[in-house]
Chains A and B, each alone.
Chain A
Amino acid sequence: MNVASQVPVSPSARAGHPITSAKPPFLGFGLGLRAQHYDEILNGVPPIDWFEVISENYMIPGGQPLRILDRIRARYPVVMHGVSLSIASTAPPNFEYLEGLRELARRVEPKWISDHLCWTGVHGKNLHDLLPFPYTREALDHVVNRVQLVQDFLGRAIVLENVSTYVQFNNSEMTEWEFLSELSRRSGCWLLFDVNNVYVSAFNHGYDPRTFLEGIPADRVVQFHMAGHSHMGTHIVDTHDHPVCEDVWELYAAALKRFGWVSTIIERDDHIPPLDEILVEVERTREIANRILPPLTRHAG
């Protein structure tokens, strides 16, 4: 039995065509917003083009975080990035969560809403992790239907990110990049290409990250993530607690050559340094793009 039959079928799925949505604009070179940097951002004029905010951090009743978010969004383009959509879960969709997400989006008016191609729990539990699943035709049908359901609910195409994985499954029938490509084509979702996650997963599973890169359709990628990781020798853990390593910078350059001008952020979630220090990495994303790519025609994205 296909799990897709266990959940409501979205109107767009019934109609046989995905929700259509204009390709999100190129926003430049930004940063994942973290509370440690609130004061430095609001009291200065840091050279940051845009911010990505963790949706769940602001899915709260009120108080200072939402007031600060209101001030940030008044000055910068903002994108909402979630960690709990659990798009690949076989549990029933969490409409309370989706309503909270839609409510926050009404307030923030983000340029787009993203989350991860993963699941976070079943049977009413949430493991708060970005968990892997087998890349099967059954899973693809299920996730396509879920994406269409979420897109119908939110009234816009969403953006999905490849996650770092530590295990694979014997019953996978396609590669991760084949799955992502087909998912994007069938559901109409856009792709967030996390350069570090590609590097991490490629090392952990023993393939060339450039094969992944070449397997993703160039016209579907609307955002890059750049982050650091922890190398354990036999495997890499996606910890976001180090600066971006040189291998990932090289892969970023290759990604720019394939995908062109793509909105990019630096992500840091632990051992968060002062803003000045992290701005060096933001500047480097900009400098490499300026060096590699032909001059940008504004609003071409």
Chain B
Amino acid sequence: MSDLARQQSDFQRAILTGDDSILAEIPDSPKETRENLFGVYRYAYSSRLVEAMRNDHKLLHIYLGDEMFDAMGHAYVAANPSQHPNLRWFSNSLPDFLKSAEAYSKHPVLSDLAALEKALNDAFDAEEAPVIGLADMAGFAPEAWAGLTFRPHPSASRLDLSTNASAVWLALKADEDPPDPVGLDEPSRLLVWRKDVTPVFRELGAEEAMMWDEAASGIPFGVLCSMLATYDDPDGAAARGATYLHGWVTAELLTGVAGGD
């Protein structure tokens, strides 16, 4: 290993682990000790990353307050050193961390709230794509509909939450007191996407969530309607499918529709 590579390795280890061996190669300044000067880098490292987490998770920050959020943030920084050159992706693993770290896993609303904020952040700067309108759908003959397949907008994602985190999110966003966290018997099925430039979400019923998930994996409309028939009144399945589809098109959730032949 070259001198430069070894010094960089030691310098980084001093920041990440507190190992002071690099200080033997650093002089005091005219007015300050090397320990205090090196401390500028140590402080900047974790404080910069926690600040990035505050920006990405503004409502989780409000929910926890400064002290608890920063303690959680420093624990996350210690457990997940950044491996990406862009700070934008640093807090990607926060929902998983909150789900697994002992201090936070007993409060599943935290992981759910972080997951919802992450999904909204991802929708905000997701890839651009055109959206289809009702006129695009009208171009298909009735007999072609059974074979139609749909492509979701790149910003669209689905999220199943086990708590009332979406109600907590809405209250915090409105600057209101959040409800007490509760676990749900049935998951809260959310669809997250970007409408023009604004990330949005709405809750889906079990039937619509199933249809969305299957449609997003390329299942054609006719089969989707057959699947809907197993959920509720079979005679109304096609009409319900058409209603859901109409809602997705007008909400700018679809970027493509293709005939089956």
Contact = CB atoms under 8 A, between A and B. Distances in A.
Interface of A: 1-3, 6, 56-57, 59-67, 84, 86, 89-90, 94, 97, 119-129, 131, 133-134, 136, 138-139, 142, 166-171, 204-206, 233-235, 237
Nearest to B82: A126
B20 to A, nearest CB: 13
A133 B4 contact: yes
A199 B23 CA distance: 24
Contacts of B84: 126
B85 A63 contact: no
B125 A129 contact: no
Contacts of B48: 128-129
B7 A169 contact: yes
A64 B128 CA distance: 10
Contacts of B236: none
Contacts of B34: 167
A134 B3 CA distance: 10
A64 B121 CA distance: 12
Contacts of B83: 124-126
B85 A60 contact: no
Given A124-B83, A170-B25, A234-B32, A90 B40 contact: no
Contact of A123 (B9, B82, B127): B9
Given A97-B85, A125-B82, A168-B27, A61 B126 contact: yes
B82 A134 contact: no
Nearest to A120: B85
Contacts of B49: 128
Contacts of A133: 4, 7-8
Contact of A65 (B2, B4, B38, B125): B125
Given A133-B4, A139-B4, A234-B31, A169 B25 contact: yes
A59 B27 CA distance: 38
Contact of A61 (B9, B15, B52, B127): B127
| Nearest 6 Cβ contacts at the A-B interface | A84-B85, A206-B30, A90-B5, A63-B125, A62-B128, A61-B127
A62 B3 contact: no
B122 to A, nearest CB: 9
11 contacts: A61-B154, A63-B155, A120-B85, A125-B82, A126-B85, A128-B48, A133-B7, A134-B3, A206-B29, A235-B36, A235-B40
B196 to A, nearest CB: 9
A56 B87 contact: yes
B101 interface: no
Contacts of A128: 45, 48-49, 52, 82, 87, 90
A39 to B, nearest CB: 13
Nearest to B48: A128
A99 B82 CA distance: 20
Given A57-B88, A61-B125, A127-B45, 8 more contacts: A6-B5, A60-B88, A62-B126, A94-B85, A124-B83, A168-B27, A206-B30, A233-B31
A144 to B, nearest CB: 13
B37 interface: yes
B239 interface: no
B27 to A, nearest CB: 6
A236 B179 CA distance: 45
B230 interface: no
A167 B3 contact: no
Contacts of A122: 5, 8-9, 12
Given A67-B197, A138-B2, A59 B29 contact: no
B81 interface: yes
A237 B40 contact: yes
A3 B7 contact: no
B41 interface: yes
Given A62-B127, A62-B128, A235-B32, A166 B85 contact: no
B68 interface: no
B124 interface: yes
A205 B32 CA distance: 9
Nearest to B84: A126
Q: Which of A1, A142, A169 has the most CB of B within 10 A?
A: A169
Contact of B41 (A129, A138, A168, A206): A129
A63 B11 contact: no
B26 interface: yes
